Amino acid sequence: MVQAYKTETGNGGPGDRFSSSRVRRLLERWRGDSGIWRRGLLLASCAVVIALLMILHAQMPNRIGNLGSLAETFLPWLGVFIPVILVAAVWRRSASALIALLLPTIVWLNLFGGLLTDKSVGGGDLTVATHNVNAGNPDPGGTAQDVAASGADVVALQELPQGQVSTYEEALAGTYKYHSVQGTVGLWSKYPMSDTAPVDINMGWTRAMRSTVQTPQGAVAVYVAHMPSVRVKLNAGFTANQRDNSADALGMAIAREPVARVVLLGDLNGTMNDRSLKAITSQMRSTQGAAGDGFGFSWPASFPMARIDQIMVRGIDPVSSWTLPQTDSDHLPIAARVRF
């Protein structure tokens, strides 16, 4: 009896006839509504404004509180307003709002629709991971072991407190034979490391480093970086000037890199859309954009809203990219697999 009813409703049965009848009555009611085009003009205007913000985000000035960078950091979230306007437009029975809503929908899909599909493929030669472990992490050893459990061949950690470096070293010693800690950033590798040194990013203390990792497929220059923090203040806007200066310095260092294959791991405190990181993003590829599944938001860990932790490559191809389970940090760890 149940199976018969399912077959009937799936082939023009009572359920289908009831649904089509409701839709037909709704359309007939709208067709006879003389105010269908006049209502919802405010909703239609909001839809157009959202579309323009996405289209013209690069034209927003940064000289006023770094407004452009702030908008670009959370640009994908403008899409949240699309279903809100859709529901309001249907409730208001506004044809104007529904038609105007097509504009931000098309723009959003053009900008971010490619991130909604899984672009990962099999294979790969090297797995890398990065994690801002948080200086106030209550369980540094457990966090280190969680990241190592990803199976990464190379792991980068940022925000390492001086008093807890030995804890991380002990937790990772069994998995990674080679490592180096420079200032508050560190690199652990299953393969030999050489030419390891700090990288000056104009901060006055070490928050970036570089090392050559000799993998079975050849040498890779691995950079680890933790860009200065950014804040949103009512009296100052998006305070990102120090981060921007550090990004320029790191971009120059990477541009001078003699090794053909380069990997950048770290907390850049900015997204790939942020124009202020162009010194880096213009010469490297994001593994998430090229081989990820979804947006890969990494911060804050409790409710990720932006991907400010990055794995970027030059001279090698990403084959997969993903976020790892939450640790006791306020960031999510991320990982990627690359092919030479």
Predicted TM-score (pTM) of this structure = 0.87
> Residue with structure tokens 């991907």?
307
Q: Which residues contact 19 (CB under 8 A, 6 or more apart)?
A: none
Burial of 117-135, coded b for 16+ CB within 10 Å and e otherwise, reads eebbeeebbbbbbbbbbbe
Q: Is 180 helix (H, G, I), strand (E, B) or coil?
A: strand
pLDDT at 1: 42
Residue 2's Cβ-count burial label (10 Å; 0-12, 13-18, 19+) is exposed
Amino acid 234: pLDDT: 53
**Nearest one of 223, 187, 221, 227 to 207, comparing CA atoms:** 227
Predicted pLDDT of residue 7 = 44
Report the C-alpha gap between 253 and 94 in whole angstroms: 55
Give every residue of the chain whose pLDDT is below 50, as ranges: 1-10
Three-state secondary-structure class, residue 66: coil
Per-domain residue ranges for the chain? 33-116, 126-339
Give the fold, CATH level 3, of 126-339.
Answer: Deoxyribonuclease I; Chain A (3.60.10)
Q: What is the DSSP string of 90-143?
A: HHHT-HHHHHHTHHHHHHHHHHHGGGGSB---S--SEEEEEEE--TT-S-HHHH
- pLDDT, residue 6, reads 45
Question: What pLDDT, on the 0 to 100 scale, is given for residue 16?
Answer: 59
Residue 32, pLDDT score: 59
